[in-house]
Amino acid sequence: MELKDKICVVTGAASGIGRALCRAFAAEGARHVVCVDINGEGAAQTAKDIGGHAFRVDVSDEAQISAMVDAVEQDIGPIDLFFSNAGIAVGGGMETPNGDWQRSWDINVMAHVWAARKLAPLMATRGGGYLLNTSSAAGLLNQIGSASYGVTKHSAVGLAEWIAISHGDDGIKVSVLCPQAVRTEMTRGH
C-alpha cells in the first residue's frame, strides 16, 4: 500500500516493532500516524518524534478500541491502514493461570477481532482499506516455553486468513507480520 497521504493507526506504538513502524510510516509520507499504546507516555513520545497523534488505549478492552477508532475517524479522518500490533508473551505451559491465558487471548487475538469488527464495515463503505496484524513466527511454527503465546499467535494468523477471504471482495486487504524474535521490551531477558 502506498502510504502517501494515508491515515495509519498503530497499536503497541510505544516501543519495539510498533514504534519502528510508526517512524517508517511517517517517513513514507503518511498524512497522519496515530500512535496507540496502553503506555500513554510512550505513545505520546513516539507521536511527538514523528509529528503524529497519540492515544492511550488498552487493546484488551473492545470499548476502548471502538472509542479510539471513532475519535480518529471523527477528528482526523478515515483510517486507511490499521496495524494491530500490540501483543504480550506469558511464559509457561498448560499450568499457566487462567487469567494469563485470558489476557493473552484478549490482546493477541481479540484485539484484532475488535479492530476488524469496527473497521471492516467502515472500510467496505469506502471501497477498501488495509488491516495489518502482527502475529509472530510462533503463529506459523510455535513457541517453546509459552503455550499461550503459541496458541494465540496461531489464532491471529487464522483470523487474518478468514478476514482476507471474507472481506477481500469489499476491497479490504489483510497482511500478517510474522517476525522471529525481535529485540524489544517483550523479549528482554530471553
Read off the pTM.
0.91
The catalytic site residues sit at 149
Contact 5, 16 (CB under 8 A): no
Residue 136: predicted pLDDT? 67
Query: Rounded to 5 degrees, what angle do the CA atoms 111, 115, 117 make?
Result: 115
Mind listing the pLDDT tens digit of every residue in the chain (190 residues)? Answer: 788 999 999 999 999 999 999 999 999 999 999 999 999 999 999 999 999 999 999 999 999 999 999 999 999 999 999 999 999 999 988 898 999 999 999 999 999 999 999 999 999 999 999 999 998 666 567 767 788 888 888 889 999 999 999 999 999 999 999 877 645 454 445 4
**Which of 137, 167, 129 shows the shortest CA–CA distance to 153?**
137
Residue 188: predicted pLDDT? 46
Residue 98 one-letter amino acid: N
As assigned by CATH, the class of the 7-187 domain is alpha beta
How far is the C-alpha of 34 from the C-alpha of 67, rounded, in Å? 14
For 127-146, where are the alpha helices, taking DSSP H only? none
Residue 64: predicted pLDDT? 98
Cα first-last separation, the chain: 34
